[in-house]
Structure 1
Amino acid sequence: MLKKTFYILLIFGVAACKNDAEPQAEAKTDLNLTSSVDPFIGTGGHGHTYPGATVPFGMVQVSPDNGTNGWDWCSGYHYSDSIVSGFSNLHLSGTGIGDLADILFMPTNKEVDLTGSYEKPADRPYASKYSHKRESAEPGYYSVYLEDSQIKVGLTATQRTGFQKYNYEGAGEASVVLDLGFAINWDAPTETAINIENETTISGYRHSTGWAKNQKVFFVAEFSKPIARHILVQDKKVIETDSVAGKITAAQFFFNIDGSRDVSVKVSVSSVSVANAKANFAEAADTDFETAKAEAKKTWEKQLEHIVVETPTDSLKTIFYSALYHTQIAPVTFGDVNGEFRLENDSIAKADFTAYSTLSLWDTFRAENPLLTLLEPEKVSDMVNSMLTYYEVNKSLPVWTLYGNETNTMTGNHAIPVIAEAYFKGIKGFDAEKAFEAMKNTQMRDARGLKFLKEYGYIPWDKIDESVTFNLEYAYNDWCVAQMAKALGHEEDYQYFKERSKSYEKLYDAETGFMRGKSSTGEWHEPFDPKFSRHRENTDYTEGNAWQHSWFVLH
């Protein structure tokens, strides 16, 4: 499928689109669109984004962690903070639940005690103050100055490898802390290990539970200078050895600084094994920090050039390209270079496509996924195949898949419209019959309120919270299944799902004009206020009210 560049003229918020097939939409050069992206947008307020370095849909997201527990620190970072605890290699962007922040490195200039417990981020012996005055970010690169240790840190990434560069500008002994016990928000380590393989290379793993109940991250890291000495800690005790394993492990590595006062570390990860992490590392084995930084910027520039905005107002370009940048961060690459990736039941799948995870489908099916069908049709095919692989484990398409784990977060089954849209837009590369089977079987389960839909013809409010939202979204999901059934010649299934897609009619109250909760005995849920909203429990609507959700009859 041919890719198109879309040209958009923004004047007072009005957008006019022309594709590159038209003669007046000539290709531009030296656009420097990355300069219009501000990665700090969304890191304040309740945005939950991170400012660190990644490449489009990359496996690693190297970013600072404040070390603060709290809803506004779901990405590990919030602009209001002034303490950095370290720089981990996996992060979430824009989510409402916190997890990841795995494999945390932190440079420091003195020996620290890693056997203690810390109530606050500032209590960590390796934490440092920082100022936004000496912090910067652009697509594929992040930099900050650690005030306490007087170290300048730079972060960049390739598809499967994170790069960290430390310049020890102040006095003291150059060292780097690796803390596999570091955890924030929902996450908690269950088993970790660190192994010193030679004077420059370490490896290990971090297994944890949290939003992703069975998360396994294996890693290999290579320092640019030999390790002069080291301290290894196992479950809060110093162990005189070259290898440790336990629930919580940590290490401090010391380096002799001769000439250049820089120390770099390259980190590759895998959900499968250390051997696979090493294979992923081999992709970037001959790449140094500056080369990776330049390539990351070049990759982002090419990515952003899919849509060219012309406007005399720079702030409009910043808003547009920062938003476009955020749509290209997730889903993330989950498959290793050899095609392997871990499933929730610990089986290892091997694919001839790029497997993706962080499938936040309730959040993305309305807008980001349709955008990707225009900008990245080949990746959409791989995302669909990833969903079908996850289906093989749970016999249900993913709801919200994090690091290969089904979190069952949010309402509806929105892998279904994503797959249907891909099929009807002519995106190839996945088995349509297999996809239809997965769509049908997902909607025919009893889980997540579907048994009530089959029993009552609607989902009663006295049987499940968020009943109206569940019902409306399932009605749309049913319609999507019906369209696939019709296209593939499954007439009986078409008739069944077409009829069931009308279930929203049973929740429409003609007297008030709203979609309302209805009990299992057929009475409207009282009292009723179309403006009332409550989060998750004892509510008929998901993160909204009747005024918002009553419009959700997309079909």
Structure 2
Amino acid sequence: MTKPWYVLLFLVVRTSTIESPPLNLYIGTGGFGYGAGSLPLGVQSPYGALRLSPDTSDTLDIPIKFEHYAGYHYSDTHINVFSHTHTFGAGLQDYGEVGIPVQIDDDHHLQRLISSRNDYRSEFKHEHKRAEPVFYQVYLDTHNINVELTATEQVGVHRYSFNNTNKKHRVIFVDSSYTLPLKVCKLSHVNIDPKNNEITGSIFFKGDFSRSCGFDGQIHTKPDSMEHFYTDLSIWDAHRTQISFIVFHDSQRANNIIRSIMLIVEQGGDLPK
């Protein structure tokens, strides 16, 4: 005869509030040579399309390229511009589109700024800046301007506070041709409409729209089961840390990333790195 057994389990859970240490956003913003972390110190919302960050230089304005792949280096003393796109931890320099060097002066000074790169810059001190998740603040000593930055998934937000209210002009120069590499974004235009508080931009490029832009020359559409299709992943810089974290933290997005890679291989025949 088999006797039934009943086991009653009690689960006691002890909860406690643990304060997490503040995030150190300066990790990876310095280093030299192969020890440079190449991380920009700026703002980006999680998975946002832009990363708004200062691009810096040293006293001589001769930034070493492999220490400025992300545009920023902690040892620098000057801020050249605030640009809206940056690589993150990669071993090459790219992006840096749409630079905004903040200035205050008359039209003559503005013309000199356009012709002389050094005049774009402003000195700053580390003790006069603050970096938090999705917020960056710095005081520009040369021009006496306090700059605050934040971002949404697709928008970078700037706020400038001017100490000298007696200045006749407030010039904020939007450089649509600016990029981090020694190149320019040609035939680009920015139009500012102060009456309607609208900023619009355009760029001209040559493209053959009678053919598909797919990797294999065929017409492709994103599968309905995918929310996003990713193309610029920098896999060999992110696979050990970021991708692994996303797999555990956001499985749906990780699935989109993996399927995007598979589609790139299927359509183009190569695995991007």
TM-score for the superposition, normalised by structure 2: 0.75
- In structure 2, what is the Cα distance between the partners aligned to 1:379 and 1:354? 8
Q: Does the 8 Å CA contact 1:89/1:162 hold for their aligned counterparts? A: yes
Give the letter aligned to residue 202 of structure 1: I
Q: Does the 8 Å CA contact 2:174/2:190 hold for their aligned counterparts? A: no
Residues 92-241 of structure 1: pairs in structure 2 closer than 5 A: 92-111=87-106, 112-113=110-111, 115-116=114-115, 118=117, 123=118, 125-171=119-165, 172=167, 173-185=169-181, 187-196=183-192, 199=195, 200-205=197-202
Structure 1 gap segments, 5+ residues each: 1-21, 209-213, 217-341, 401-555
Which whole-Å deviations, capped at 9, do the CAs of 1:444-474 have from their partners, x for residues lacking one? xxxxxxxxxxxxxxxxxxxxxxxxxxxxxxx
Counterpart secondary structure, 1:64: strand
Query: How far is 1:349 from its partner?
Result: 5.3
Show the counterpart of 1:40: 26
Q: Does the 8 Å CA contact 1:106/1:177 hold for their aligned counterparts? A: yes
Show the counterpart of 1:62: 52
Q: CA distance change for structure 1 residues 367 and 183 in 2, over 3 Å: closer, same or farther?
A: closer
Q: Does the 8 Å CA contact 1:106/1:176 hold for their aligned counterparts? A: yes
Query: How far is 1:371 from its partner?
Result: 2.8
Query: How far is 1:364 from its partner?
Result: 2.8
Please say if 1:356 is aligned against 2:195. Answer: no
- In structure 2, what is the Cα distance between the partners aligned to 1:190 and 1:96? 25
Show the counterpart of 1:377: 251
Q: CA distance change for structure 1 residues 367 and 78 in 2, over 3 Å: closer, same or farther?
A: closer
Give the letter aligned to residue 189 of structure 2: A
- In structure 2, what is the Cα distance between the partners aligned to 1:377 and 1:27? 28
Structure label with greater radius of gyration: 1
Structure 2 gap segments, 5+ residues each: 1-10, 58-62, 208-212
More strand per residue: 1 or 2?
1
Q: Does the 8 Å CA contact 1:126/1:177 hold for their aligned counterparts? A: no
Q: CA distance change for structure 1 residues 349 and 144 in 2, over 3 Å: closer, same or farther?
A: farther
- In structure 1, what is the Cα distance between the partners aligned to 2:123 and 2:145? 11
Give the letter aligned to residue 153 of structure 2: Q
Show the counterpart of 1:229: none
- In structure 1, what is the Cα distance between the partners aligned to 2:48 and 2:258? 17
- In structure 2, what is the Cα distance between the partners aligned to 1:83 and 1:348? 46
Asked which structure has the greater RCO (Cα within 8 Å, sep 6+), the reply is 2
Show the counterpart of 1:221: none
Show the counterpart of 2:81: 86
Q: Does the 8 Å CA contact 1:105/1:179 hold for their aligned counterparts? A: yes
Query: How far is 1:360 from its partner?
Result: 1.9
Q: Does the 8 Å CA contact 1:99/1:184 hold for their aligned counterparts? A: yes
Query: How far is 1:378 from its partner?
Result: 1.0
Q: CA distance change for structure 1 residues 177 and 349 in 2, over 3 Å: closer, same or farther?
A: farther
Counterpart secondary structure, 2:161: strand
- In structure 2, what is the Cα distance between the partners aligned to 1:138 and 1:348? 40
Identity of aligned residues (%): 25
Aligned-residue CA RMSD (Å): 3.0
Query: How far is 1:184 from its partner?
Result: 2.6
- In structure 2, what is the Cα distance between the partners aligned to 1:115 and 1:153? 21
Query: How far is 1:38 from its partner?
Result: 1.3
Equivalent residues, number: 238
